[in-house]
Structure 1
Amino acid sequence: MTEEPETSSRRRGGVSPDSILHSGSEGEFTAEDLVLASGRDVNPENLAWAERRMAEKGGRAALDELLP
């Protein structure tokens, strides 16, 4: 890990600039990732929910709407 994010944060009064923030949804994700992002426990019922949601929302959109 580099010092750059902390340094950038200090220069802007303790707030991280948008240029260094990212949701992490740029790569591949699974139903388990969606369950965890929603704050639910990983179990067969919630994994089934996540798979349905990914199918309904078109995959990435299901995760993007849960992440800041």
Structure 2
Amino acid sequence: MPTSQPASGPSEDRATPDDLLHTRTGTEVSPEDLVLASGKDITPRSMEWAKRKLEAEGPAALDKMLP
């Protein structure tokens, strides 16, 4: 009888590598990036929201949304 192996994942006793903790890659943050990071669907309304948020907060808007 086959036994299933647990899915491999990060060990709870190891720290997450620093390069995985950063949210931005050094590229420009687009309104689409912000909408997707917020978990919203890309619609004209959500894109306008993202544009306004980026104008007000700059790229830090994405940093504030992601861990």
What TM-score do you get using the length of structure 1 for normalisation? Answer: 0.68
Among all aligned residue pairs of Structure 1 and Structure 2, give the percentage whose two residues are the same amino acid.
42
**Amino acid across the alignment from 1:27:** T
Match for residue 55 of structure 1? 55
TM-score (norm 2): 0.69
Query: What secondary structure sits across from 1:15 in the alignment?
Result: coil
Give distance in 2, aligned partners of 1:39 and 1:55: 20
> Are positions 1:39 and 2:28 aligned together?
no
Gaps of 5+ in 2: 1-9
What secondary structure sits across from 2:47 in the alignment? helix
Greater helix share, structure number: 1
- Compare relative contact order (CA 8 Å, sep 6+) and give the higher one, 1 or 2: 2
Larger of the two Rg values belongs to structure: 2
Q: CA shift at 1:20, angstroms?
A: 2.7
The 1-side partners of 2:61 and 2:16 are apart by 25
